[in-house]
Chain A
Amino acid sequence: MDCKLVQQDLSAFVDGTLGARRQQAIEEHLNACENCTRELQWLHLILDSAATLSPRSATDSLWTKIANELESQAPRPAVRWRHALSARFSEAISRITVPVPVSQLLGIAAVLLFGVILGRYFFPPTGPEAPPFQKKPGQVQLTSRADTYIEKSKTLFLGIMNADLADLTKSDWKFEKEMAGSLIYEAAHLKEEYSRKQDARMKELVEGLEMLLLQIAMLENQNDLKEVELIQSGIERKNLLLRINLYDLAPPQDKRLDRSL
């Protein structure tokens, strides 16, 4: 038998995976061939050395490295408003249709303000002035927090309502989710305060917004058009933008708030 052919099969021979006849033939050849027997011994040495390689252990600090990496990848529980307002979200806001150019609007506002100043100069009020509304310090703080919460929610909802659903393949809703997450914390505080003050209407408004914020915060990372559409219809169905606008239009003293909604 050819030594070259035998040596090609030595690996299968030591594993015992050759057919019985081939196994037998090689054994007979090995009994007669010193060269192939030496090859077999070397193969044994390689395999025995491989089987007795010492197991290795990682250093103790490896877990610390992994844990640090996990920590750095973990999403932050809440983010500041300025950071949360992403460029993509700003772009969505900018797509809100405004029929009149901004410069013209500013011009009209300046003319109106000038008119009011002139009117008060030439026709000063004659009757007794209404006393200014006095807010208690705690109430000022609460109203201001509610204003911020409602204003941010409005911006978020407008962004969602005006989002281009055809372009959602590139979006992961990361910033919207983060913003909604931070607003939910604020909602919890506001609800507690309004419960304490027995201001049912204000509590109801905060809760109404909170429901939608929860849905936004729980959006999947991959785009789920159905979920987004549900949120859009929720905003519409509950007239949230209208309710926010009514809140915005109410005079400051009424934002405590029994008459604004």
Chain B
Amino acid sequence: MPPASSGNWSKANKDKVSASQALDLDSDLIVACKQGDRQAQYELYKRYKDWVFNIAYRMANHREEAEDLTQKVFLQIYRNIDSFRGESAFSSWIYRMTVNLSINHFRKDKKRRQHISNELSSSNNPRAGLLKRHEEKFNLRPHLEAAISRLPAGYRMVFILYDIQGYAHNEIATMLDISEGTSKSQLHKARKELRHLLEPFIRLHSTL
């Protein structure tokens, strides 16, 4: 069930997701991709690039890194497409590969997390630019994007899939090969951590 607070967003996202699932590749295109047909590979790229790139971008919060990850995901898809046996929808196969590669990519990169952590700490100084922010309408999004990228990779992916992409826990459980209960508990931990990371902004806004 989508968050009660989220209004119409989740329905809109769900519709988008259903539409993308309806785009499942026909078998001819999959066969052509298996044979290394470049045009077919491009067709596949066109269909899934936005989905893959958005997951990568939310995980990285950095364009170049997201593009590197997107490239890595597509190369893996082409390299492993022979292993797709048609037991599930092709889109599900691609989603699973994307989320798992993304999580592994960021799990390995502890240095990067430290770097982001430092970056967030400096940008989190709410007194810097206080006047400017006071004049503007409070906008949490840039700080939220930075905070999301600081979450542990597993929490981050569940938060992205549930609260940004609008997937249900049972769908997330299938993609990540975890139980629904784990998906729920990781989501709550992710939200709690985000609340903690955004504390300085929240406190500042409360005093203005």
* Contact call A70/B159, Cβ cutoff below 8 A: no
- A137–B47 CA distance with the chains assembled, in angstroms: 58
* Contact call B144/A46, Cβ cutoff below 8 A: yes
* Contact call B144/A53, Cβ cutoff below 8 A: yes
- Count of chain A residues with a beta carbon within 8 Å of a chain B beta carbon: 33
- Count of chain B residues with a beta carbon within 8 Å of a chain A beta carbon: 48
Q: A50-B163, A55-B54, A66-B45 are in contact. Are A74 and B36 (CB under 8 A)?
A: yes
Most chain A C-beta atoms within 10 Å of own C-beta, residue among B1, B7, B191: B191
Instruction: Kindly state whether residue A16 has any CB partner on chain B within 8 Å.
Output: yes
Q: Chain A contacts of B167 at CB under 8 A?
A: none
Of all chain A residues, the one with the shortest Cβ separation from B68 is: A65
* Contact call A49/B141, Cβ cutoff below 8 A: yes
Q: Which of B146-191 contact A (CB under 8 A)?
A: 148, 159, 163-164, 166, 184, 187-188, 191
- A17–B78 CA distance with the chains assembled, in angstroms: 39
Q: Which of B25-84 contact A (CB under 8 A)?
A: 36, 38, 41-42, 45, 49-50, 53-54, 57-58, 63, 66-67, 70-71, 74-75, 78
Of all chain B residues, the one with the shortest Cβ separation from A67 is: B38
* Contact call B54/A44, Cβ cutoff below 8 A: no
* Contact call A55/B50, Cβ cutoff below 8 A: yes
Within 8 Å by CB of B9, from A46, A51, A69, lies A51
* Contact call A14/B3, Cβ cutoff below 8 A: yes
Of all chain B residues, the one with the shortest Cβ separation from A39 is: B195
* Contact call B78/A47, Cβ cutoff below 8 A: no
Give per-residue flags for A68-85: 1 if the beta carbon is below 8 A from chain B beta carbons, else 0.
011001100000000000
* Contact call B195/A42, Cβ cutoff below 8 A: yes
* Contact call B164/A53, Cβ cutoff below 8 A: yes
Q: Chain B contacts of A109 at CB under 8 A?
A: none
Most chain A C-beta atoms within 10 Å of own C-beta, residue among B41, B195, B198: B195
* Contact call B45/A46, Cβ cutoff below 8 A: no
Q: A46-B194, A51-B13 are in contact. Are A56 and B144 (CB under 8 A)?
A: no
Q: Chain B contacts of A67 at CB under 8 A?
A: 38, 41-42
Q: Chain A contacts of B4 at CB under 8 A?
A: 14-16
Instruction: Kindly state whether residue B202 has any CB partner on chain A within 8 Å.
Output: yes
Instruction: Kindly state whether residue A169 has any CB partner on chain B within 8 Å.
Output: no
Within 8 Å by CB of B6, from A38, A47, A62, lies A47
Q: Chain B contacts of A73 at CB under 8 A?
A: 75
Instruction: Kindly state whether residue B128 has any CB partner on chain A within 8 Å.
Output: no
* Contact call A62/B5, Cβ cutoff below 8 A: no
* Contact call B5/A63, Cβ cutoff below 8 A: no
Q: Chain A contacts of B140 at CB under 8 A?
A: 45-46, 49
CB distance from A44 to the nearest CB of B (A): 4
Q: Chain B contacts of A43 at CB under 8 A?
A: 5, 191, 195
Instruction: Kindly state whether residue A97 has any CB partner on chain B within 8 Å.
Output: no
Of all chain B residues, the one with the shortest Cβ separation from A69 is: B75
Q: A49-B144, A50-B159 are in contact. Are A63 and B42 (CB under 8 A)?
A: yes
Instruction: Kindly state whether residue A134 has any CB partner on chain B within 8 Å.
Output: no
CB distance from B181 to the nearest CB of A (A): 11
Q: Chain B contacts of A104 at CB under 8 A?
A: none
Q: A15-B4, A53-B164, A56-B54 are in contact. Are A62 and B71 (CB under 8 A)?
A: yes
CB distance from A9 to the nearest CB of B (A): 9
Give per-residue flags for B192-208: 1 if the beta carbon is below 8 A from chain A beta carbons, else 0.
10110010001000100
* Contact call A69/B71, Cβ cutoff below 8 A: yes
Q: A43-B195, A48-B6, A70-B78 are in contact. Are A53 and B188 (CB under 8 A)?
A: no
* Contact call A44/B195, Cβ cutoff below 8 A: no
Q: Chain A contacts of B58 at CB under 8 A?
A: 53
Instruction: Kindly state whether residue B145 has any CB partner on chain A within 8 Å.
Output: yes
- A188–B194 CA distance with the chains assembled, in angstroms: 67
Q: Chain B contacts of A51 at CB under 8 A?
A: 3, 6-7, 9-10, 13, 163-164, 166
Chain A interface residues toward B at CB < 8 A: 11-12, 14-17, 38, 42-53, 55-59, 62-63, 65-67, 69-70, 73-74
- Which 5 pairs, one residue from A and one from B, show the smallest C-beta to C-beta distance? A51-B9, A44-B5, A11-B188, A58-B53, A50-B163
* 6 A–B pairs (Cβ distance < 8 Å), ordered by A: A42-B198, A50-B163, A53-B58, A56-B57, A56-B66, A63-B49
